[in-house]
Amino acid sequence: MIKRIIRILLLCTVFSGYAQQSDQTLSLERYLTVVKKNHPLLKQAQLISKKGSAKLQKARGGLDPKIELDYDLKNFKKSTYYDKLNTVLKIPTAYGISFKASYEVNDGKYLNPEYTTPDRGLYSAGVSISLARNLLINERAATLRRAKLYQQQSLEDQRLQVNELLFKALAVYFDWLQYYEIKNTYKTYIANADFRLRNVKKSFEAGDKPAIDTLEASINLKNRKIDFEKAKLDYLKASLKVANFVWSSEEVPMELREGTIPSTVSSETLDALLNQSLNEATTSFINKHPKIKALNLKRESALINKKLKANNLLPIIDLEYNFLSADIHRFSSFNTANYKGGIRFSIPLFMRKQRGDLKLAKLKLEELDFDIQNTTRTLKNKISATEQKIASYTEQNRLLTELVDDYRKLVASEERKFNLGEGSLFLVNYREVKLIEQQLKAIKTQNKLYTSKSELVKTLANFSL
């Protein structure tokens, strides 16, 4: 237990060490590395594929050879009524053929004559064949094929779950970055408002400005402080959400070191990190999409079930033939002169159950076909809509960047006029409020752009571990 605690403390030290090495900055690359490596939900997603492997192993057990032993003895009033021993080795196959080898030795005063064997017992080796139902497909073979499909499907389900988690992790980081930039924006304008208030007070004391300007400057500073406090609270909430995705390799939740901040993310860096070019976001990805692949695998499984139900319309015609010998040491003793065989025939007269099962299997296939069509159409529309969002936010981001520069020039111009005694403090504050509004719009639009890009990768299920 002490060693485990020491390892956890060392991990905490290592994790917090990046803050010292990179000025307390948690980059998006580092953040995603920690999420991918240690998050418990990603480890849980890996269990999906393991479950598929376990089901496949279970299905293969239907083809395992089987040894059976049956021993029956009856003694009454010092008389052996019967003493029967029968051992059988059965080897099933994926088709309607099974191999069987057995050894039996029976004795007793009241033994049924048909069970009589030579003194050293009787050996047999033979085969059982289904000539109609269960010849090309049977429950064992169908279960094995469905298990193989389920294993592939579980890998696609795992990809979907991983993509969903990584998208949420990215969205949380982008929100953290957004509120950090908003907080810094208000912090900058608090400094501006405070500087302006001190200058106005000096001008008032010198007789250059009226008292009302000091009041207006003071009100402006207080408003900036209120906005800053709100932004700090939003930033704190976002930081806690980011911490929810940070875990140690010991599966212990980690806390961000105090003072840790997000790093600035450029659009080019994000594109490289997501490993996804917008030009590649075409409908050619649809057929490779894990959701479509999973549905197609379900359809293949349903098709196997339909073939099995159609097979049940055939009659049961099982033929069995066994060679018999009392001397296992001589292989030539197994010949057609000594044998045991039989045939079994069975068929329902109306087959209402079998025909009903087949209809249900066909309906299931139709449902899956409609589901595939609908999902394909939905994915195409979602990809197209997300591409249009990215294009729109990219253009908005460009225009807002230009607007922020223009408003900065306006504010600087008004401040010069005010300092020269030709303008008003009200107009300076008004221009500055508009500048802040545009800066906040630019920050939020950039956040929407980044989130839309990661949403596109999630829709394409193209996140990689």
Stretch 385-410: mean pLDDT: 93
pLDDT tens by residue, 64-101: 999 999 999 999 988 999 999 999 999 998 888 999 99
Burial label, 279 (beta-carbon count in 10 A; 0-12, 13-18, 19+): exposed
pLDDT tens by residue, 405-425: 999 999 999 888 888 877 788
Residue 11 has pLDDT above 50, yes or no: no
Stretch 132-146: mean pLDDT: 90
Q: What Å distances lie between residue 418 and 180, 203, 218, 426, 430, CA to CA?
A: 32, 11, 16, 10, 13
pLDDT value of residue 14 = 38
Q: Given pLDDT bands bounded at 50, 70 and 90, which one contains residue 437?
A: very high
Q: Given pLDDT bands bounded at 50, 70 and 90, which one contains residue 335?
A: confident
Which residues are registered as beta bridge partners of 122? Answer: 104
> In whole angstroms, what is the distance from residue 48 CA to residue 46 CA?
5
> In whole angstroms, what is the distance from residue 210 CA to residue 420 CA?
14
> In whole angstroms, what is the distance from residue 395 CA to residue 445 CA?
10
**Torsion angle (degrees, nearest 10) of CA 26, 32, 38, 44:** 150
**Torsion angle (degrees, nearest 10) of CA 295, 299, 305, 308:** -150
Q: Given pLDDT bands bounded at 50, 70 and 90, which one contains residue 282?
A: low
Count of H-run helices and E-run strands, the chain: 9, 8
Mean pLDDT for the chain overall? 86
Q: Given pLDDT bands bounded at 50, 70 and 90, which one contains residue 195?
A: confident
pLDDT value of residue 187 = 93
Tokens for 208? 């250059």
Stretch 49-60: mean pLDDT: 88
Q: Given pLDDT bands bounded at 50, 70 and 90, which one contains residue 205?
A: confident
Top pLDDT among 203 and 138 is at 138
pLDDT value of residue 1 = 43
> In whole angstroms, what is the distance from residue 319 CA to residue 281 CA?
58
> In whole angstroms, what is the distance from residue 95 CA to residue 134 CA?
7
**Structural domains of the chain sorted by starting position, each given as residue range(s) with its CATH number in brackets:** 22-60+141-304+359-459 (1.20.1600.10), 64-136+315-350 (no CATH)
Stretch 126-134: mean pLDDT: 92
Residue 329 has pLDDT above 50, yes or no: yes
Write out 51-66 in H/E/C secondary structure: HHHHHHHHHHHHHCCE
Q: Given pLDDT bands bounded at 50, 70 and 90, which one contains residue 280?
A: low
pLDDT tens by residue, 13-51: 334 443 334 448 888 889 988 898 888 888 888 888 888
- Judged by average pLDDT, the poorest of 180-194, 201-215, 280-294 is 280-294
Residue 352 has pLDDT above 60, yes or no: yes
R_g of the chain, CA atoms, integer Å: 39
pLDDT value of residue 321 = 93
**Interacting residues of 258 by C-beta distance below 8 A, sequence separation 6+:** none
447 by DSSP, 3-state: which? helix
Q: Which of 14-18, 120-124, 229-233 has the highest mean pLDDT?
A: 229-233
* Nearest-5° Cα angle at 268, 266 to 273: 95
pLDDT value of residue 185 = 94
pLDDT value of residue 3 = 43
